Amino acid sequence: MRTLGFGVAAAIATLVSSPTEALAQGQPFALNRYDPTPLANDWLRVERPNTPNGFGAVVTFDYAHKPYVLQKVDGAGNVLRTDDIVGSQLYVVPGLSFGFLDRVLIHAAVPVLAYQTGSGFGVSSPTAPTLSSTTLGDLRFGARVRLYGVREGKDATPFAIALGAYVWAPTGKQESWASDGKVRAQPTLMLEVAPAQQFYVTLNVGAMFRPEARSYDTAAGTAVRGDLAFGAKLLDDKLRIGAEFSFQGALVDGSSFSKSGVVDNLFGFTYALGNGLYLSAGGGAGITKAPGVPVARGVLRFGWEQPQEAPPPPPPKKLEVKDRDGDLIDDEQDACPDVKGLPSSDPKQNGCPKKAPTDRDGDGIFDDEDACPDLKGVKQSNPKANGCPSDKDKDGIFDDQDACPEVFGQPSDDPKANGCPPDKDKDGIIDDKDACPDDPGPASDDPKQNGCPVKTKFAEVKGSKIIILDKVLFATNSDKIVGLKSFEVLDSVAEILKKTVVIKKVQVEGHTDNMGVAKYNKDLSQRRAAAVVAYLKSKGVDASRLEAVGYGQDQPIADNATELGRAKNRRVEFKIVDP
């Protein structure tokens, strides 16, 4: 994607004309686009909305290969000359940070341009400034304030937002492409979301305010910028891998380093070494070509964040033994604290005088050995069941209350189901043998159909409803059923009811649209529901299993503002109320 040159054929044709003229075309500025983040647990380029309390330190090594290259081309597009204005840069950037109030972070960084190659201004002349190999960059100061949410630790939230800013002091050497020579500033909004437990996305949006500078056909100036990072946490959150993308676009004079938007990227990882130490590394290449976007970039970072210490546990309570009756049994465990007694394994008798054995329920088992002293039971070898009523299936429900005393079951508020295996659809077929445990149906010799609802041509059982697959139609403003299809639908419902005797009762519901008077519509829907009940009775369905209810226009399922919606609202439904 990246090729050398910026399409500046005519403008760069004078590159070899004269040193003085070439020097005039090169106005240096802070070339490097990469600014290391201040925290060891940030991304390499993108700031996270974290503000940990305490001190932190990082040192970042940033190497950029061919960050500023010009080519001289002829009219046919042939490359006549390539000049590395800046062929390589190695920055070493130590930084410190301090967080307080669990919300605010301040930080500073000292970029040192440790190594640099290139012509600097595209000329070799005694009068041209020398491109320094080692020099100080612009000191960077910054702060961020967390506005909402937490993105680390046990109190982490799915979303967090912070506001921050950088300010650069012009301490660097401008002719070495390490400074603008003036103050720069960049406010930034930081957002982070975690759409999944181990996956998260971070976005920085801001603007770089800087003085305008020109070099050949390129102008550096104020620009908007956005940085996006996304990745995943692995190895119990010790390892983070991800990708970062950066975009810059001009706000002034039609360009900012380039005449179009500039995109750069990094792929890297961060690993938590323990005791607050972190190691990060990454690499990438410029996606678009512009000064400051290298052919390749490598980043290595070592960092430390002050581990957050848990508050010390409260001191143990001082034990005070109280024994009012002097029987050497603490009052808290003494069932008779004011009467001297004897120790007992029974908390109700511990510390009390020895009494004659009692049998409150009269089952012949003394209370001190009776696990159910108030319920008449039988003698059993299990101390936890001795004296309790019989429970043959050992399901914890006594036989006299167990509707299925020979079969292990579960408790139920329904006395007819208490102690029986689960049967969610109440069709009399327990769930582990029911092929359709959520929909009632008759028994079948076919295990795949056992307990499954009856399906007919125009109706089927689903959950607590008999769903009809076509409409039941009535004459306009009448309860007269019309249309052959309507009777075929009702015949299907009747077939289901006759074959599924476990369905004890069905509520036939009539509904209308909102056209007309509500009182009239309710009466009409009641008459229509009654007409359906009458037809089903004529087909052999027991009347005790049917109930007609008219709701009129009170329960629409579609928008009554359209004809299609009104048509959907004019309907008959069959609700199973006592399966």
| Residue where one domain finishes, among candidates 305, 327, 361 | 305
Describe the crossing of helices 484-499 and 518-538 by its angle, rounded to 10 degrees.
60
What does the pLDDT read at residue 406? 67
What does the pLDDT read at residue 514? 93
Residue 292 domain-assigned? yes
Residue 449 domain-assigned? no
**Are 439 and 461 within 8 A, CB to CB?**
yes
What does the pLDDT read at residue 22? 39
For residue 281, give its domain range. Answer: 13-192+265-305
Residue 574 domain-assigned? yes
Smallest Cα–Cα separation from 154: which of 43, 38, 310? Answer: 310
Q: Please give the Cα distance from 195 to 447 (Å, whole number).
A: 42
Q: What is the mean pLDDT of each run of 10 residues along the chain (579 residues)?
A: 33 32 60 92 93 94 89 68 82 96 95 88 50 87 95 85 96 89 95 90 94 73 90 92 89 51 86 94 86 90 84 70 82 84 84 77 79 82 80 76 74 77 73 75 76 83 89 93 93 90 90 93 95 94 94 94 92 87
Residue 320 domain-assigned? no
* 529 DSSP 8-state letter: H
322 CB contacts (<8 Å, ≥6 apart)? 330, 331, 332
What does the pLDDT read at residue 359? 78
Distances (CA, A) of 394 to 218, 268, 482: 86, 60, 58
The model carries a pTM of: 0.52
Distances (CA, A) of 550 to 39, 295, 509: 68, 76, 6
Residue 299 domain-assigned? yes
Residue 221 domain-assigned? no
Residue 573 domain-assigned? yes
**Are 118 and 105 within 8 A, CB to CB?**
no
What does the pLDDT read at residue 216? 65
Look up residue 364 and give its two tokens. 């012949």
Q: Which helix (H) or strand (E) holds 537?
A: helix 518-538
- Phi and psi at 314, nearest 5°, equal -65, 150
How many residues make up the chain in this entry? Answer: 579
Residue 285 domain-assigned? yes
* Total number of domains constituting the chain: 2
DSSP string covering 217-256, please?
Answer: TEEE--EEEEEEEEEEEETTTTEEEEEEEEEEEESSTT-S
What does the pLDDT read at residue 311? 63
Q: What is the SS3 assignment for 400?
A: helix
